[in-house]
Structure 1
Amino acid sequence: MLLGGLFALATAIGSTFGHAGIIVGAVAALGTGIYVYWNSGKLALRAMRARPVGEFEAPHLYRMVREISAIAHQPMPRIYISPTEAPNAFATGRDPGHAAVCFTEGILQILDERELRGVIGHELSHVYNRDILTSTVLGGLASAVMFLPILGLIPIGRSKDGDATTGIFGVLLAILLGPIAYAMIRLSIGRYREYEADVAGAHVTGDPLALASALRKLQAGARALPLPPEPRLEAMSHMLITYPFRPDDVLSRLFSTHPPMAERLSRLERMAGANNSKGQQVTGERPPDL
């Protein structure tokens, strides 16, 4: 529904420039979506300056990722490390066969093996549930909508007497609705899918409290060593497991793509409590929604 709505918005804005504008709007939306679909992984890894690592260099990461992939009956993803002290991690890739998991040097320094397993389960759940595909394609289409005002500089779809009123209206519409559409998509997908990945990841690892412990450390680490608010990092920040920037004001927290940390921790603790009350523990079986 979001995909169709955003595509309709792009073509509607383009229609204000005439029939040619509809075509340009549709092509811009489709072209951007296809480009992001095929290159989302490379773009995110490049933004974090990540490099691939082999099993000889990081045997403990390979062992944990391979174990969790086997539990979920999914292919082994590639492993990357980002040379930044800010503790964080993310997964990317359009499908499990083209997945990659990236860890910053900071997260490897502050988390123990049990907590890292919790983070790996969370990130791989994003890939298995196609969250990366959804967010990157919709984000790409939203970006296309935001760039449609350039059509106002092209003399298409205007009347013979040179009246540009319709074109100006389209430019204003794109300027107003583009950022709103982009923000709404990031918020609606980002927050909901983080909750779902927490639950699915905890099912895979069988240890909800390990992920909760990791999230506490990562939240404290992000406050102490936040990422710089650069455009290349802001564009992919919704993919990281925790909000990577320093929340300087209420507005930044309100429009954060990550759900409140207190609620995430509460859900994981309730999940662990429910398992204990039943005298059971999730043993790493693949959950139905994966």
Structure 2
Amino acid sequence: MNIVRTAMLLAFMTALFMGVGLLIGGKGGMMIALLVAIAMNFFSYWNSDRMVLSMYGAKEVDERSAPEYYGIVRDLAKRAGLPMPRVFVINSDQPNAFATGRNPQNAAVAASTGLLQALSYEEVAGVMAHELAHIQNRDTLTMTLTATIAGAISMLANFAMFFGGGNRENNNPLGFIGVLIAMIVAPFAAMLVQMAISRTREYSADKRGAEICGNPLWLSSALKKIAVAAGRVPNDEAERNPATAHMFIINPLSGERMDNLFSTHPNTENRIAALEEMARGMQARSTEPVRADNPVRKSRSVPTTGWGRGGSEPPKGPWS
């Protein structure tokens, strides 16, 4: 089903891109736009993870350089039945995280230094489980390709006035009106599709992430902290590349707090409410209460005898 949805989304975005080319340059412009869209889709499919990670200056870590963080991802991936993704750290004071990659076999997760320093072990686990859910749902490919084409549509529309939209040679019957449509309507439509896709998938990733880590309250507690800090601490790289904002667990840009058509993320309070409701449902089906903290483990070191169940403790990690 995810493959079908991805194919339909790419077909729509490609058609929209071709439509912009038609409005600007007639049939010739449409064919050029089609070739460009195919080339962009191909390039993004194979290089989306490297592009985003490089954009944010992410550095790869392993079990030796970041034992706790790496161990969390390793154990969660095992619980989810996923291949071990590559693990990265972003040097940013804003607590945030994202996942990228074309499929589970070629995926990566990245967390900021601000997130690793501000959140507890359980909260980091909730966040990384959310990112692994995106990988498992193959959201990373869809969202990256959508961002690429949406950005290209906006760029093409910005150049619309430099092309002859009203002459007869380009077979554009709408003339200057077509150019105006390309400039205004097409980028707006692409933005709406991008945001709608992102918002829907965040709720899905929250639910699946809570299932992976085993405790919805870990993620809800993390979302509370991240949302507050993200509103106070700027993410300069994200501000320079707003097309990637929807990839983060919380919108890294200033503003965008409302749960409406123009938000890249659902309202955080709504996400927290959904997770708390999920926790109540889990508690009703269990004899043991679901708690925000880990009642067995009070330290931040990674358990080695089961997820969140205590055990011997390895060396401290980057946020100890």
After superposing the two structures, state which structure 1 stretch, 52-61 or 16-25, moved more: 16-25
1:2 corresponds, among 4, 9, 20, to 9
The 5-angstrom pairing of residues 17-36 of structure 1 reads 17-36=25-44
The 5-angstrom pairing of residues 1-290 of structure 1 reads 1-16=8-23, 17-149=25-157, 150=159, 153=162, 158-159=167-168, 166=174, 168-228=176-236, 231-247=239-255, 255-279=262-286
Task: Give the conservation status (yes or no) of the 8 Å contact 1:21–1:157.
Answer: no
Secondary structure in structure 2 of the residue aligned to 1:116: helix
Change (3 A) 1:151 1:220: closer
Output the amino acid matched with 1:13: V
Q: 1:8-65: per-residue Cα shift (whole Å, max 9, x none)?
A: 2222332343332221121122222222222221222122221111221101112111
| TM-superposed deviation, 1:3 | 2.5
Q: 1:71-125: per-residue Cα shift (whole Å, max 9, x none)?
A: 1221101111111111111111111111111111100111111111111100011
Q: 1:213-255: per-residue Cα shift (whole Å, max 9, x none)?
A: 11111111112213237653312111111122332x7789762
Change (3 A) 1:231 1:175: farther
| TM-superposed deviation, 1:137 | 1.3
Q: Distance in 2 between matches of 1:79 and 1:31?
A: 28
Give structure 2 stretches of 5+ with no counterpart: 1-7, 291-305, 308-320
Output the amino acid matched with 1:8: A
Output the amino acid matched with 1:123: E
After superposing the two structures, state which structure 1 stretch, 202-211 or 13-22, moved more: 13-22
Task: Give the conservation status (yes or no) of the 8 Å contact 2:85–2:108.
Answer: yes
Task: Give the conservation status (yes or no) of the 8 Å contact 2:61–2:70.
Answer: no
Task: Give the conservation status (yes or no) of the 8 Å contact 1:51–1:82.
Answer: yes
| TM-superposed deviation, 1:166 | 4.7
TM-score between the two structures when normalised by the length of structure 2 = 0.79
Change (3 A) 1:156 1:268: closer
Task: Give the conservation status (yes or no) of the 8 Å contact 1:88–1:104.
Answer: yes
Task: Give the conservation status (yes or no) of the 8 Å contact 1:21–1:156.
Answer: no
Output the amino acid matched with 1:260: N
Output the amino acid matched with 2:127: V
| TM-superposed deviation, 1:4 | 2.3
Secondary structure in structure 2 of the residue aligned to 1:81: strand
Output the amino acid matched with 1:268: L
Q: Distance in 2 between matches of 1:242 and 1:151?
A: 33
TM-score between the two structures when normalised by the length of structure 1 = 0.87
Q: 1:136-180: per-residue Cα shift (whole Å, max 9, x none)?
A: 1122222232233446645699536x9987553443222112321
Q: Distance in 1 between matches of 2:188 and 2:32?
A: 21
RMSD: 2.7
Output the amino acid matched with 1:10: F
Task: Give the conservation status (yes or no) of the 8 Å contact 2:150–2:190.
Answer: yes
Task: Give the conservation status (yes or no) of the 8 Å contact 1:92–1:127.
Answer: yes
Percent of residue pairs bearing the same amino acid type? 37
The size of the alignment, in residue pairs, is 282
Secondary structure in structure 2 of the residue aligned to 1:100: strand
After superposing the two structures, state which structure 1 stretch, 35-44 or 81-90, moved more: 35-44
Secondary structure in structure 2 of the residue aligned to 1:197: helix
Output the amino acid matched with 2:168: S
